[in-house]
Amino acid sequence: MNEREQAMSAQVLEFLAHAQALETESGERYRELSETLEIHNNPEAAALFQKLAHYGESRAEEVVQQTGGMALPELPPWECQWLSAEGPHRCMEEAHYLMTPYQALRLVLRNESCSCNLYRRSLRDAVDLGVKKIASEMIREKEKHLEWLYSCIEREAETHHPPQEDLDPPNAPE
């Protein structure tokens, strides 16, 4: 066992497994929204979610790189310790085919704030110093991402208008 592996306790690996599940889920959810919004002819929101999906996927890869080749414990989805039953991503039901980039960013902000709170909980509750160190790094990264989201929201707010009325809405009852 090398020095890195010795330093990587079971708690650290479990924390990284959670982080990987969270970021993977994030990438997949945003990718799914991007594809759906593209199908529903909303290229602006689709492009935004595509960018965010890429961010989630990159973060998941970075988490794996931190293990230095060690296998992460396999966590069944129902054993992950999220903040609520909804899992790491909330309010996905608020997505709408007419949503503007501003509305999309607000939804993402709620999700990413939730992810950041998960890392903060780990930092607060962990006894293992290795977990505390990695959780602090994750929080710093998430806070940078949140700052970027806030700046995007501010920029979008200047030109934001509620979605135009759909003259042929899909939910017109027949």
Q: Which residues contact 14 (CB under 8 A, 6 or more apart)?
A: 73, 75
Site membership for other proteins, residue 57 (CB under 8 A): no
**Closest CB to other proteins among residues 94, 154:** 94
Site membership for other proteins, residue 162 (CB under 8 A): no
- The Cα 161–Cα 174 span in angstroms is 29
Cβ at position 131, least distance to other proteins in Å: 22
Q: In this structure, how many other beta carbons lie within 10 angstroms of the beta carbon of residue 163?
A: 13
Pick from 86, 125, 137, 147 the residue near other proteins by CB under 8 A. 86
- The Cα 64–Cα 30 span in angstroms is 20
Cβ at position 27, least distance to other proteins in Å: 9
> Quick check: 163 and 98 in contact, CB under 8 A?
yes
Site membership for other proteins, residue 165 (CB under 8 A): no
Binding track, positions 19-48, relative to other proteins; x by CB under 8 A = ---------x---xx-xxx-xx--------
- Paired tokens of 35: 């594809």
Site membership for other proteins, residue 93 (CB under 8 A): yes
Inter-axis angle of helices 10-39 and 129-159, nearest 10: 20
Site membership for other proteins, residue 167 (CB under 8 A): no
- Paired tokens of 138: 């994750």
- Paired tokens of 60: 């998941």
Binding track, positions 119-158, relative to other proteins; x by CB under 8 A = ----------------------------------------
Site membership for other proteins, residue 95 (CB under 8 A): yes
φ, ψ of residue 85 in degrees (nearest 5):
-60, -25
Interacting residues with other proteins (CB under 8 A): 28, 32-33, 35-37, 39-40, 76-78, 80, 82, 85-87, 92-97, 99, 170-174
